[in-house]
A = this chain, B = another copy of it.
Amino acid sequence: MNKARLRVPGPTEVPERVLSKMAFPMINHRGDEFRNLYLKVCSEIKYVFQTENDVLIFPSAGTGVMEAAISNFFSPGDLIVSFQCGVFGERFAEIAKAYGANVEVIKAEYGMPITKEMVRDRIKKDKNYEIKGILFTQNETSTGVLNDIKALKEAVGDHPALIIVDAISSLGAVELKTDEWGIDVVVSSSQKAFMLPPGLGFISISEKAWKAYEYSKMPKYYFDIKKAKNTLQKGETPYTPFVSLIYALEESLKIIKEEGLENIIRKHKKISEALRAGIKAIKLKPFVKDDYASPTVTAVEIPEEYKDLTKTLKNKFNITVAGGQGSLKGKIMRIGHLGYVDFLDIIAVISALEMAIGDEKLFGKGIKAAEKKYLEGGI
């Protein structure tokens, strides 16, 4: 049996150093030991968010903090513009609708990013500042598209709407300068670049967003950020925290600090570029163009003649990649390369693809292209 190689875009593999923390003993979550730990991680996580804003941690999936990013800042009837280019953009809008917002959807087709023009055009029309919130997805996991949040924020200009970014599958792997770019709310989740098991949602909140909180009339309880902030001041959580994952988070933040965020971001970019070079060399086609390709997940078109590519990777090599979602089901496969992953992990995927395709003339070709790309500019 081959080793299990998990190459989905989250959960990612978890470093042994982190996994071992999951086996630490339980402690009283109202005791000093937990308090010190919790205050420490809530402070240190700001480094990954590149922010001085509050960052709160909820025991939840990523979708939970997406909900928090809506219900804490808006009121029913508020106009929220949702820029979408895939399943996760759509989800953000669905949450806003469920809470009674007046959601306006602006879509790019699957495989394409949101453009500055799309944002600028909409903002221009909003003479009376009716838009209260703007939803972006930094990394659209369903298609492998990276939206240029910096440029999109610039396109928003000084419009007073809250800028809310789903950075679930990008934060800690892709540049996101929360404060420098002026992003009000950023949400992320443990099982992505944080290299943790699933279970924690993270949300950063700007001062402007805290002001919006005061006027928000949407119902909230579990995800109430004010309650979470108030208890955090005592080093506690409103409800029982996920103790094991807090231990693990302490360790993963340590690893991220040791490696340096810049190096980690660079690593993801290099790996992604090398993978794309390798894929093209064995005549597979990345689903999106290089210009806006995600550094954390690469969607590859499944050619008609290799319909079973994903199955072959699984059955013959025990590599698990993700399939397409929604209308892309069966049309693409998505190779995750975020968090605890390195270039040689990607070499393994390319080699397995070469063998799965089975054309001897292509053997080694993908690897060669990937190696060349990877070595560009030194390692």
Q: Could you tell me which A residues sit within 8 Å of B by CB distance?
A: 1-3, 5, 23, 258-259, 316-319, 340, 342-345, 347-348, 351-352, 354-355, 358, 360, 363-369, 371-372, 374-375, 379
User: Judging by beta carbons under 8 Å apart, are A347 and B342 in contact?
Assistant: no
18 A-B pairs with C-beta separation under 8 A: A1-B259, A2-B342, A3-B342, A317-B344, A347-B347, A347-B348, A351-B371, A355-B371, A355-B374, A358-B375, A360-B372, A363-B367, A363-B368, A364-B366, A364-B367, A364-B369, A364-B371, A365-B368
Given A3-B345, A317-B344: 17 more A-B contacts, CB < 8 Å:
A2-B342, A2-B343, A3-B344, A316-B379, A318-B342, A319-B344, A347-B347, A347-B351, A351-B367, A355-B374, A363-B368, A363-B371, A364-B365, A364-B369, A364-B371, A365-B368, A367-B368
User: Judging by beta carbons under 8 Å apart, are A340 and B3 in contact?
Assistant: yes
Q: Can you name the residue of chain B whose Cβ is closest to the Cβ of A363?
A: B368
User: Judging by beta carbons under 8 Å apart, are A344 and B340 in contact?
Assistant: no
User: A364 with B368: in contact, given A1-B259, A2-B344 (CB under 8 Å)?
Assistant: yes
Cα separation A355 to B374 with both chains bound (whole Å) = 9
Most chain B CB inside 10 Å of its own CB: which residue of A5, A347, A365: A347
Q: Smallest CB–CB gap between A228 and chain B, Å?
A: 32
Cα separation A316 to B375 with both chains bound (whole Å) = 11
Cα separation A372 to B363 with both chains bound (whole Å) = 8
Cα separation A375 to B344 with both chains bound (whole Å) = 20
Q: Can you name the residue of chain B whose Cβ is closest to the Cβ of A16?
A: B19
Q: Smallest CB–CB gap between A338 and chain B, Å?
A: 14
SS class of chain A's interface: helix, strand, loop or mixed?
A: helix
Q: Can you name the residue of chain B whose Cβ is closest to the Cβ of A355?
A: B371
Q: Smallest CB–CB gap between A360 and chain B, Å?
A: 6
Cα separation A317 to B379 with both chains bound (whole Å) = 9
Chain B contacts of A319 at CB under 8 A?
344
Q: Can you name the residue of chain B whose Cβ is closest to the Cβ of A5?
A: B344
Chain B contacts of A5 at CB under 8 A?
344
Q: Smallest CB–CB gap between A337 and chain B, Å?
A: 13
Chain B contacts of A354 at CB under 8 A?
367, 371
Cα separation A23 to B24 with both chains bound (whole Å) = 10
Q: Smallest CB–CB gap between A314 and chain B, Å?
A: 13
Partner of A344, one of B1, B348, B366: B348
Chain B contacts of A259 at CB under 8 A?
1
Q: Can you name the residue of chain B whose Cβ is closest to the Cβ of A343?
A: B2
Q: Can you name the residue of chain B whose Cβ is closest to the Cβ of A365?
A: B364
User: A375 with B347: in contact, given A364-B364, A364-B365 (CB under 8 Å)?
Assistant: no
Cα separation A364 to B368 with both chains bound (whole Å) = 4
Cα separation A366 to B354 with both chains bound (whole Å) = 13
List 3 A-B pairs, minimum CB-CB distance, nearest first: A364-B368, A364-B364, A344-B348
Cα separation A158 to B340 with both chains bound (whole Å) = 57
Chain B contacts of A258 at CB under 8 A?
1
Q: Can you name the residue of chain B whose Cβ is closest to the Cβ of A374?
A: B355
Chain B contacts of A375 at CB under 8 A?
355, 358
User: Judging by beta carbons under 8 Å apart, are B355 and A351 in contact?
Assistant: no
Q: Smallest CB–CB gap between A144 and chain B, Å?
A: 23
Most chain B CB inside 10 Å of its own CB: which residue of A344, A348, A369: A344
Q: Can you name the residue of chain B whose Cβ is closest to the Cβ of A342?
A: B2
Q: Smallest CB–CB gap between A18 and chain B, Å?
A: 13
Chain B contacts of A358 at CB under 8 A?
375
Q: Smallest CB–CB gap between A231 and chain B, Å?
A: 32
Q: Can you name the residue of chain B whose Cβ is closest to the Cβ of A264?
A: B1
User: Judging by beta carbons under 8 Å apart, are A352 and B363 in contact?
Assistant: no
Cα separation A369 to B368 with both chains bound (whole Å) = 13
